Amino acid sequence: MPKMKTKKAAAKRFKVLPSGKIKRGKANKRHILTKKDRARKNKLQKSGFVHPSDVGLVTRCLPNG
């Protein structure tokens, strides 16, 4: 059986932590920032975690992560 390949798009977006949680960036911080207030933009800078119901999808894309 051939080696499992990592989905490079997922590798760029997610990072698996030693605890097993998967870290992700938040959306809506790329453009149209003038109408978003400062507090909202600051909260979007911080990273979040993948929801437990989506962990299986992400780990399937990151077999070596």
Task: Catalogue all structural domains in the chain, each as residue range(s) with its CATH number.
Answer: 8-61 (4.10.410.60)
Q: What is the DSSP letter of 44?
A: H
Per-residue pLDDT of the chain (65 residues; tens, 9 = 90+): 899 999 999 999 999 999 999 999 999 999 999 999 999 999 999 999 999 999 999 999 999 87
Supply the pLDDT for residue 16: 97
Q: What is the pTM of this model?
A: 0.85
CA dist 59 and 11 (Å) reads 10
| Token pair 């990151």 in the structure block, residue | 62
Residues 6, 58 contacting (CB under 8 angstroms): no
